[in-house]
Amino acid sequence: MGTLHAQRSGSLLTLTLNNPGKANALDFDILHELERQIEAVELDAGVRVLLLRGTPGGTFSSGADVGQWAPLNPHQFARDWIDYGNRIFDRFERLRCPTVAAVEGVCFGGGLELALCADLRVAASGAVFRFPEVGIGAIPGWQGGPRLARLAGRGRALEAVLTMCALDAQRASDWGLVNAVWTPDVFEQELAGLLQRLACVSPHAAALAKEAVLWGAEPGEFHAAAGAEIKGSADAAIGLHAFLNKSKPVF
């Protein structure tokens, strides 16, 4: 049985995957707790940044727990595993606050699909990414293929899914799968700096900017409405006052 440890430090919420007997495989318990944490973040404006990680210095996730989904019949599998997981992953992707997935080791299958839902992914130099599903008669059912295609392009996404190739951290960076690669000796320091930068921006502006990048169906119309919304906000007043006075804004 896996768990998801939650730790709050100021405006930062860290969620740590923990299923050590199965290399942090995602099971129903982890999915349920992830859903619960997402619901809490949706109601708590005090959370400005969410960090998702696996074992510090080790495995992120070996993927979905085959032992839990294998016994399900096709209807149960579609409803209770695929549809349920996608609802949770979609909500994670749509959180208003910036989200970061920190990957230091193995990040396979469903674990990679979860990491792809984060806004940013950072990797230690020893990280490895892979979709192994077609090799056991399955597919990346939590929309990992389409999400990877949006980052790396259709051809590379198909290569990753169909050939089950392993991507080291540098190749993942070259593909646009990760935003930064750091050596283990500086990983925690660099990660802390990134999280601090994200926590200092206007939370209202960050939510709207994120929405504009990810889901703005009518860009012109959305940006006009979002621009009007943020211009009339307290965050805009704080930011403009600080800019004009050459000081640092505190949102």
133 is catalytic: yes
In sign, the C-alpha dihedral spanning 111, 28, 133, 75 is: negative
pLDDT at 217: 64
- In the residue annotation, 33 being an active-site residue is answered as no
Q: Is the pLDDT of residue 13 over 80?
A: yes
**Number of C-beta neighbours around residue 249 at 10 A:** 16
Section 67-88 average pLDDT: 97
pLDDT given for residue 39 in this prediction: 98
Q: 116: Cβ–Cβ under 8 A, 6 or more apart, which residues?
A: 144, 147, 148, 151, 177
> Considering 33, 93, 104, 113, which one is annotated as catalytic?
113
Distance, CA of 208 to CA of 79 (rounded, Å): 32
Residue-wise pLDDT for 20-29, tens only, equals: 999 999 999 9
Q: How confident is the model at residue 199 (pLDDT cuts 50, 70, 90)?
A: very high
Catalytic residue among 104, 133, 190, 211: 133
Residue 162 C-alpha from the chain's centroid? 23
Question: Do residues 74 and 137 lie in contact, with contact meaning Cβ atoms separated by under 8 Å?
Answer: no
Q: According to the model, what pLDDT value does residue 37 have?
A: 98
pLDDT per residue as tens digits for the range 160-171: 999 999 999 999
Asked if residue 216 has pLDDT above 80, the reply is no
Please report which confidence band the pLDDT of residue 218 belongs to, taking 50, 70 and 90 as the band edges: confident
**pLDDT above 70 covers what percent of the chain?**
99
